[in-house]
């Protein structure tokens, strides 16, 4: 007899193949990750607020969340948003360059959370 694979979540068909689609009406046996939520225990993201500006806009991680992430991932360099107004930042400073870089790479974020994050960063 040939090789048999153990611990594969997809069942073997009558011909011996594993079909990774159309199983159980299209439901995959692989578990999907829970979508990020902003409320409830252990959720460390600001809630998106369409009328807010600055920190009130939401759409990013809270300081509490950043601290928890750093605890769980030693050596990481995660930071919260640069919420200072662009006019108050010194041109070419580290914070100004960080803000400019974020704004440049997040231009395509058109969802509720993306728009909130861009408002928070004053993009």
Cα torsion angle, 108, 113, 115, 117, sign: negative
Residue 88 included in any domain:
yes
Token couple for 10: 């997809």
pTM (2 decimals)? 0.60
Of 18, 36, 38, 37, the closest CA to residue 28 belongs to 18
Residue range 25-35, pLDDT digits in tens:
556 656 666 66
Residue 3 included in any domain:
no
Residue 32 included in any domain:
no
Residue 17 included in any domain:
no
Domain extent at residue 86: 54-120
Residue range 68-120, pLDDT digits in tens:
888 888 888 888 889 899 999 999 999 999 999 999 999 999 988 888 889 88
pLDDT band at 3 (very low <50, low <70, confident <90, very high): confident
SS3 content of the chain, % helix, strand, coil (to 5): 30, 5, 65
3-state secondary structure of 52: coil
């Amino acid at each position: 007899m040939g090789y048999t694979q153990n611990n594969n979540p997809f069942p073997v068909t009558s011909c011996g193949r594993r079909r990774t689609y159309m199983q159980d009406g299209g439901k995959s046996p692989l578990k999907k990750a829970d979508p990020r939520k902003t409320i409830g225990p252990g959720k460390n993201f600001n809630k998106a607020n369409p009328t807010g500006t600055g920190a009130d806009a939401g759409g990013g991680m809270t300081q509490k969340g950043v601290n928890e992430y750093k605890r769980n991932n030693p050596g990481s360099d995660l930071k919260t948003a640069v919420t200072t107004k662009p006019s108050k930042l010194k041109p070419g400073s580290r914070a100004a360059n960080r803000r400019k870089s974020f704004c440049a790479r997040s231009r395509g974020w058109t969802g509720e959370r993306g728009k909130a994050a861009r408002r928070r960063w004053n993009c």
